[in-house]
A and B are shown apart, each in its own frame.
Chain A
Amino acid sequence: MRWGVVIFPGSNDDRDTLRAIEQVVGDEALPLWHKDRTVHGVDCVVLPGGFSYGDYLRCGAIARFSPVMEAVSAHARAGGLVLGICNGFQILCEAGLLPGALVRNRGLRFLCDIVTVRVETSETPFTYGCKAGELLQLPIKHGEGCWVADDATVAALEAEHRIVLRYTDRLGRATAAANPNGSLANVAGLCNAERNVVGLMPHPEHAVERLTGSEDGLRLFRSARAWLGRAAAGARREPALVPGP
């Protein structure tokens, strides 16, 4: 499986993401430049964390107009996988590839912590290797991670099981106290209607080795390969489902 990691001016988790995918997961990963007008045929595009364009105006507001984002949108429309992490999640919301928006944390402070998140659905490329209800330990580090949307959007996401990760306490309860930033419905990650585009505030790329506290992030990266394998197998199986003469 081939991954591409976009580098915007101000991205700062691109190296960690490339390293996690290449050296720990063992997949191929290439850097994609923000001025590229193509994603070079990768299976999955990652929009990494950082402070693209200095977070000027709004987080992700300027990055979404980078030349590469047209190629990322086309890739997503064609069913290609897209993972936005932190600033990448903000960019996906600004670009309209995911619903809602990420605003200043409820407590106004920048947060840097390891949190517990509950996997809400295994029907996404990045949670396919997890079970719904499973708890993961992942780091967060953000000032604008409070996800907001109107009530109808939240209801639609709940009904379509598009909330991918929720902040919980260590027992897996999505309480107000376990919500670090004030996100509606304790949302830590969500997906689009087609389920190929996922945005997360937590950082799986910083959680790939026990040395740094957790290797739960590996689950998300490894899921993608299994998801693509399933899709390919599904495509091959399909003709067999057609009744014979």
Chain B
Amino acid sequence: MTARLQARVIVTPRRGILDPHGRAVLQSLHALGFTEVAEVRVGKYLEIGLRELGRDAAAERVRAMCEQLLANGVIEDFRIDIDEEPR
């Protein structure tokens, strides 16, 4: 029996795209004295539970999910990690 898998997807604004959230956080960090902060980009984190899939198939399916729906390639990049679902 295959273990249940969990995909963790991180979607971030593409570099060069205006990210007003990130800029506001950057300015707040600077105001608090964290002057070493050079850049902040605010994105999204998704946890996706998967059933009945091998790891390779899961990676392929989650990539398709990102391309079709979870990320907008015009403005966003995404990263995928796949692991056994924590109990």
Contacts and interface: CB of A to CB of B under 8 A. Distances in A.
Interface of A: 57-58, 61-62, 65, 93-94, 99-101, 103-108, 146, 148-150, 182
Contacts, number: 39
A103 B17 contact: yes
Interface string B3-26: 000000000010001111100100
Interface of B: 13, 17-21, 24, 69-70, 72, 74-75
B75 A108 contact: no
A106 B18 contact: yes
A148 B19 CA distance: 11
Contact of B24 (A57, A58, A108, A150): A108
Contact of A100 (B18, B70, B74): B74
Contact of B20 (A58, A62, A94, A107): A107
9 contacts: A57-B69, A57-B70, A100-B74, A101-B72, A103-B19, A105-B20, A106-B18, A107-B20, A108-B20
A108 B18 contact: no
B75 A148 contact: yes
A93 B72 CA distance: 10
Given A57-B70, A65-B69, A182 B18 contact: yes
